[in-house]
Structure 1
Amino acid sequence: HDALLEQINEWSKETAAPADALMDIINLRLKNIDKLRNQVGHQKADKIVAELARQLKEALGSSAEIGQTATNELVGLHANTEHSREELQEKLQALLRQPIVIDGNEFRLDTSAGVLRVKRENVKDNANVVIHDAHQHGYSAAENNQVFSFLDQDNDLVNDQDEPLSKQLLSAIENENIKLYYQPRLNTNSGYFSVLEAIVRWRDNQRGYLSPEDFKPLIEEASLAKQFTGWMIKTAFNDVSQWIKKDFIVRLSLHITLNDILEPAILNAVAKSLNQTKFPASSLSLEVSERSLVRINEQAKVYLKKLRSMGVTVIADQFGEGQLTLQSIFVLPVDAIKLSENLVLQATSNSDKKRTLISMIKMARSRGLKTIATGVDNRAKLLLLKHIGCDELQGSILSKPTAKDDIPWARIR
């Protein structure tokens, strides 16, 4: 750690390098090295790691510095790099696909590469934080079984290309089996609807329209869930653009963690849509599941913080069902909590649960968090939630999800 710190500090103070010069910190996690060490012995395992380090330096260039920071971790520093993300990804993936040959025998390492790219001007007097961030990013890449993960600390969020839709989704969209509806949320202070939440419905020939929970098994694969959410974002922003032209007041809420993973690519798609449509970021809310917040990776956390800095509101969805407490929410990049339907249902029939809900809403308000309740489908829930001061309410007793052409604009403020 000390050697890394010294090298990064020296580079940050170089007068010959421009302020916007870049350094890549490459963290390689060798996930099966302990197993190999037990199979072939410490000496040969050390040779395997040393050979990987040599090959990494060769791939990056003679100016790169490579060191072993733990028995299962290599760190490479490449100062003043000129590699694009794509070039670096190609080099590292090609390297990690190849077996390591020692004494004529091939050994395959199960390796994950996490790359943190930093500017020289951002490193000065900040090297400890940079090392920590690089370490965390490498750890997250390994935990998520990513062969390559890239995080640019100065990323502008909007450079990635759109991912093409699968044939399955294209077919469903073209046949209008997938549609986007909008359900208004009531602001309890004003008495008007104030937000439209985009809700996806997928029509099944036998069962009719399915909710996201119903069709989640159809898109369990991560790439499909990402494509589906990307389609939803694009469609919602197209609708928003049409409403703005008609001078409708629009505040939009999007659920972006269908498979309980907060994807950096999805956050990028949101930023890209905001940039293209000029829709005010302060009029957009992103709903993310509790589970996705618990296991958020460093890249997604950076992107989420940048969206919040633009004015986007982040809502912890289905709060009260998972592992998160209000205390843990306070340290996460969250502006509001959306109470789980079960939490509200129990509070209408159990006095202890009612007291818990009241306490939760008071505590959230004291820390500046907005509270939202969904599943308000009867008068008992409506009266309770209004009485205890919940900020926004959503449910069938107020308004059902409607098609984009049937939204009750006269009741929206």
Structure 2
Amino acid sequence: MTCPHEGARLEALRKLDLLDTPPSEAFDRITRMAAQMFNLPVAAVSLTDSDRQWFKSRVGVDHWSIPRLQAPCGAVAETAEFVVIPDLLEDPGYRDSHLARNGVRFYAGAPLTTRDGHALGAMCVLGTAPRQITQSERAMLSDLAAMVMSQIELQHALGRIDPISGLPNRNQYIDDFSDLERDRPRGEERLAMLVHLASAEQLANAARVMGSTYVDGLVAEALRSFRVAFGAGTKMYHVAATQFLVLVAPDMALAECHARVDAWLQGRDARSTSRFVTTPAVGIAPFVVGATEALDVLRIAQGAVHDAYAGGMQVAVHSSAQDAAYQRRFTLLTEFGTALEARNQLRLVYQPRIDLATGACVGAEALLRWCHPELGGISPGEFMPIVEQTSMARPATAWVVDAALRQLRAWQEAGLALTLSVNVAAPNLLEPDFAAGIAAQLHRHGVPPGRLELEITESAAMGNQAAADRTLAALHAVGVRIAIDDFGTGYSSLSYLQSIPAHVVKIDQGFVRGIDTDERKRVLVSAMVSLSHDLGYRVVAEGVETEAAAALVRAAGCDEAQGWLYARALEPAQFAEWHAERTACVPAIGNAGPSHPY
């Protein structure tokens, strides 16, 4: 049985390009040492391939490989743990193995483990007679395995020194950080800095125009000046093309470090030849020796750099609160994919829309809710902006539309002639087959296209206008209704509003809440309603929470209203009960449907 991460383990093995390579004295020396130390006839550096054990080095063995099936080295690779079999003939798992049939009775193997925790195989010793192993022998074999891994790193890793800058690289930083934890007092507060010499876009533009030698010169120039600014007590590592990590001297406080960085940046701006085409940024990451991993220090420093660029600054200090927020965002993003596949995490709730002329409910807006099994309820205002920026925007919208159409079909069978609106993300408008997918879902659920309304924001429609225009035209041809959501908060391009094939404008709740006490809001709402009507749109006021607000938007000419005055977002059963009570209060309308042609 292979381990759950077998694919990643095999990938790590093959990246090292060790399999089927010629013998190496460096490995053979260790293997001979193992056989001599244990006084055993067989020793090997055994690498576990998908179906075989291949020997990079061997003593006392004529062949280069044996089948992986029932090979003890395979168990070492699968578990990444030390394996000892005192007598193969007494072990039910190995008594019929290839080794046992060839006279092997004793086996001991220490894992050859990469930095990422993948076991490539084993440093193993074998004997023809049963025996036990002492703790000192176990430690000795583990040390030999570590020596083998050191040889693998030396011969097949990228090395430890960057050839352009001459600085130690990321691999060396990780090793040095381990030494730091061993040599410095546990709990000591230290500083690390990540220096970006250019943003990703600037780097791409400069390399495209000037070539890689320009980037090399940029690095060399920055390192010379940085060494002068921070002195010999600072350890620097070249961790990416135009990024270097700095471990600040232990006696330097945050204020002094920040001041020196500021001075270095100012001096660089005064003398650097690249100052007109690149903008450096520095992220400062405080950490505690023994409490933070090497790669976590690099990660939080990277986050501080992004904070600097996002805030228009050149220097930013790591914020634990901001880091926690980014960690949560990443968690939500990774967990949302699981939620889409689960049956009990995502659901739709429905907020009614009311015809202001009749008081009847003419439709509803479908709103997505997520109840995570561990995090609990998560607001769509928190997770949807994240989802919409990723490839999950498409499956998320597909899930919502499918669930909404199932509800529409249920209402249809119950005799309710309602329209249901669904929010659509900007990336959906860039999908060339989005309209076709909506048409297929409508057909599958047996719902008339005019009962589905897709809400888009002005900014989503204007983001890539040519692609959005094609998608909206195709949706219009399918027969679904289009609503412009959050009207007044986006581009509000009058020329675009004139051409968009929409049916409804939804005035953002920010203009409606407080309208009874704000004369400017009343004027704005009245103007937006008049403009929308002149362009042929039906107008919905969102965020109506009081009778006074309802009266004012009705007086301004709004056709429909939506908000807590009428109902909060309701579960399907609650909506059915609410709708029945509402219909009883508006007997003239009953179930005959809305007063306008949907």
Q: TM tier, shorter chain?
A: 0.5 to 0.7
> 1:188 Cα shift?
1.0
Query: Are 1:339 and 2:518 counterparts?
Result: no
Question: What is the DSSP-based 3-state SS (H/G/I as helix, E as strand, rest coil) of the residue aligned with 2:513?
Answer: helix
Query: Are 1:222 and 2:390 counterparts?
Result: yes
Query: Are 1:398 and 2:566 counterparts?
Result: yes
> 1:304 Cα shift?
1.6
**What is the aligned partner in structure 1 of residue 460 from structure 2?**
292
Q: Structure 1: which 5+ residue stretches go unaligned?
A: 1-31, 41-165
Contact 2:423 2:456 in 1 (8 A): yes
Q: Structure 2 CA distance, aligned partners of 1:295 and 1:405?
A: 38
Structure-to-structure mapping, 1:59-208, within 5 angstroms:
168-171=336-339, 174=342, 176-204=344-372, 208=376
Contact 1:229 1:266 in 2 (8 A): no
Q: Structure 2 CA distance, aligned partners of 1:346 and 1:326?
A: 26
Quick one: which amino acid aligns to residue 257 of structure 1?
A: A
> CA RMSD, aligned part only?
3.0
Normalising by the residue count of structure 2, what TM-score does the alignment of the two structures yield?
A: 0.39
2:443 to 268, 275, 279: 275
> 1:221 Cα shift?
4.2
Query: Are 1:306 and 2:474 counterparts?
Result: yes
> 1:217 Cα shift?
5.1
Contact 2:539 2:559 in 1 (8 A): yes
Question: What is the DSSP-based 3-state SS (H/G/I as helix, E as strand, rest coil) of the residue aligned with 1:321?
Answer: coil
Q: Structure 2 CA distance, aligned partners of 1:389 and 1:206?
A: 46
Contact 2:453 2:483 in 1 (8 A): yes
Query: Are 1:209 and 2:390 counterparts?
Result: no
Q: Structure 1 CA distance, aligned partners of 2:375 and 2:556?
A: 38
Query: Are 1:351 and 2:529 counterparts?
Result: no
Per-residue CA deviations over 1:52-86 (Å, capped at 9, x if unaligned) read xxxxxxxxxxxxxxxxxxxxxxxxxxxxxxxxxxx
Change (3 A) 1:209 1:39: closer
Q: Structure 2: which 5+ residue stretches go unaligned?
A: 1-203, 213-333, 584-590, 594-598
Q: Structure 2 CA distance, aligned partners of 1:342 and 1:260?
A: 25
Tell me which structure has the larger Cα radius of gyration: 2
> 1:347 Cα shift?
3.4
Q: Structure 1 CA distance, aligned partners of 2:481 and 2:567?
A: 23
Where relative contact order (Cα < 8 A, 6+ residues apart) is larger, the structure is 1
Change (3 A) 1:277 1:221: same
Change (3 A) 1:277 1:370: same
**What is the aligned partner in structure 2 of residue 257 from structure 1?**
425
2:550 to 368, 378, 382: 382
Q: Structure 2 CA distance, aligned partners of 1:402 and 1:352?
A: 32
Q: Structure 2 CA distance, aligned partners of 1:247 and 1:308?
A: 26
Normalising by the residue count of structure 1, what TM-score does the alignment of the two structures yield?
A: 0.56
Change (3 A) 1:262 1:210: farther
Quick one: which amino acid aligns to residue 309 of structure 1?
A: A
Contact 2:394 2:428 in 1 (8 A): no
> 1:220 Cα shift?
4.7
Structure-to-structure mapping, 1:5-16, within 5 angstroms:
none
Q: Structure 1 CA distance, aligned partners of 2:372 and 2:533?
A: 41
Quick one: which amino acid aligns to residue 242 of structure 1?
A: A
**What is the aligned partner in structure 1 of residue 537 from structure 2?**
369
Q: Structure 1 CA distance, aligned partners of 2:343 and 2:381?
A: 21
Q: Structure 1 CA distance, aligned partners of 2:425 and 2:205?
A: 34
1:232 to 400, 419, 438: 400
Per-residue CA deviations over 1:141-171 (Å, capped at 9, x if unaligned) read xxxxxxxxxxxxxxxxxxxxxxxxx874344
Change (3 A) 1:206 1:36: closer
Change (3 A) 1:329 1:217: closer
**What is the aligned partner in structure 2 of residue 135 from structure 1?**
none
Q: Structure 2 CA distance, aligned partners of 1:346 and 1:236?
A: 32
Question: What is the DSSP-based 3-state SS (H/G/I as helix, E as strand, rest coil) of the residue aligned with 1:390?
Answer: coil
> 1:225 Cα shift?
1.9
Question: What is the DSSP-based 3-state SS (H/G/I as helix, E as strand, rest coil) of the residue aligned with 1:316?
Answer: strand
Change (3 A) 1:214 1:348: farther
Count of matched residue pairs = 258
Quick one: which amino acid aligns to residue 364 of structure 2?
A: L
Per-residue CA deviations over 1:283-302 (Å, capped at 9, x if unaligned) read 22110011111113534422
Quick one: which amino acid aligns to residue 567 of structure 2?
A: S
Instruction: Out of 392-401 and 309-318, give the one that drifted further.
Output: 309-318
Q: Structure 1 CA distance, aligned partners of 2:205 and 2:427?
A: 31
Q: Structure 2 CA distance, aligned partners of 1:266 and 1:183?
A: 25
Change (3 A) 1:326 1:393: farther
Q: Structure 1 CA distance, aligned partners of 2:409 and 2:394?
A: 23
**What is the aligned partner in structure 2 of residue 147 from structure 1?**
none
Quick one: which amino acid aligns to residue 291 of structure 1?
A: S
